[in-house]
Structure 1
Amino acid sequence: MFHRPELACAPPPSGPVVPVLVFPPDLVFRADQRSGPRQLLTLYNPTGAVLRFRVLCTAPAKYTVFDTEGYVKPQSCIDIAIRHVAPHPRNYEVQDRFRIELSEEGTEGRVVGRKDITSVLRAPAYPLELQGQSDPTPHPEPHSWTASSTAQPFPENPHPQLATSSFLLFLLMGTVSVAFLLLPLQDELGSQLPQILHVSLGQKLVAAYV
């Protein structure tokens, strides 16, 4: 459950101040993220004592935070998952703030460190595609791929003329080869064909191979 803090009026920590080390320093959510707009916030404890943390937010209804309170061991870190549950167009580019408060174990809630983090929800990179609409005017984003609105159909027979010509060529070559094999050899006697139509054995072998 979230606690709604008065961020502008919060008093400074009393006593020793502990640096609040978090990554990333700001939260950026994407409305078109496949698994839903969410981020992982890593909190580090650089001290030698156990620290208690608490996560506050200025807009708790728009977020779900896992482990809003807990402890961080000395010289360790913990991951805090944050999900944006209201990725509506009216919330695009609206800045919210999270606050991480640290307190030492056994100090009855005395805050020793705090840090404010900005959170913003970015609009989808392709809002028209996500909404199932079409727009003749493209709106490309920087360094992003854009797809054409219509795709060219895949040709069933891209080269029909070439296929017909190849078939006729193979048929002609086969006919010539068969006719060449029927011609008499050069040393064959008793043939009624003129000598110019007599072929050698090597030529017949070539025709048979073709």
Structure 2
Amino acid sequence: MSSSGSGGILDGKIPVFVFPVQIDFYLEDQTTHKRVVTIYNPYEFDVTFKVLCNNPKKYAVVEPEGKICGQKCVDIVIRHVAVSLQTVDTTDKFRISLFEEGTNDLLGKKDILAILHAGNPDPQSNSLGDKQRKALGGVFPSLGGGSGQQDANGQSHNREGGAPNYIACFVAVICILALFLPTHCEPSSSTSLLQDYPWLHLSLHQKLVFAYVLGLVTLAILRT
């Protein structure tokens, strides 16, 4: 595969990485009527994706189109909205296509099957699926947790939670203390001890910098 002379990213098709490769719904287990499919983009460039189905009346796909940044992944939610005895053991097909961002040039596609089973799922099958997902994350470690992911309710989130960022907390405390220090333009009391330490008087520009840094570290703390 080589770069296109017309400005395209790639010539030809690229592999499409999706997990799982088969979606299993179970008639008697309502928790399985909503499944999450992860689309990986291990490449260094951004792509757009589109999800199509041969029987769209039976399924509801949350955000069937979107963008995946380079070396990131996105979760899409597929709901089975026509669960009945008549549809048991029927197989449908979803096609996931990747396109070069900003164009309609097809980069690659992959088909996954959707099957409605009778009864309840085997508990071991869920644990096996988790192992396969972790194994795929090991192949693409940079896709472990990034922006653009969505949970089962379609809300963005990071896949992996982290411990509190103690460095960010320390920086936030320093910024807060700095904002409480007097500024050069404020008249100070003659009895103030700060008169003996003029270097503790900050300029307005310095306080604006501390306020900006405080906003950044606050976002970092809230994310973790």
TM-score (norm 1): 0.51
SS state at 2:60 partner: strand
Aligned position for 1:18: 14
Aligned counterparts of 1:83 and 1:32: Cα–Cα separation in 2? 15
1:121 and 2:116 are equivalent in the alignment: yes
Task: Report the equivalent of 1:82.
Answer: 78
Amino acid aligned to 1:115: K
List structure 1 runs of 4+ shifted beyond 4 angstroms: none
Aligned position for 1:164: none
**Alpha-carbon RMSD:** 2.3
Alignment correspondent of 1:111: 106
3-state DSSP class of the match of 1:93?
coil
Corresponding residue number in structure 1 for 2:166: none
Q: State how far apart, in whole Å, the 2-side matches of 1:125 and 1:63 are.
A: 20
Q: Which one has a bigger Cα radius of gyration?
A: 1
Look up the match of 1:31: 27
Per-residue deviation, 1:125 = 3.8
Partner residue, 2:68: 72
TM-score w.r.t. length of structure 2? 0.48
Alignment partner, residue 203 of structure 1: none
C-alpha distance in 1, partners of 2:75/2:120?
27
Distance 1:110 1:37 in 2: 33
Q: Distance in 2 between matches of 1:40 and 1:62?
A: 16
Q: Which structure 2 segments of 5+ residues have no match? A: 1-9, 125-224
Deviations 1:113-148 (A, max 9, x none): 00011110011249xxxxxxxxxxxxxx9x9xxxxx
Q: Taking every aligned residue pair, what percent have the same amino acid on both sides?
A: 38
Q: Which segment is superposed worse, 75-84 or 27-36?
A: 27-36
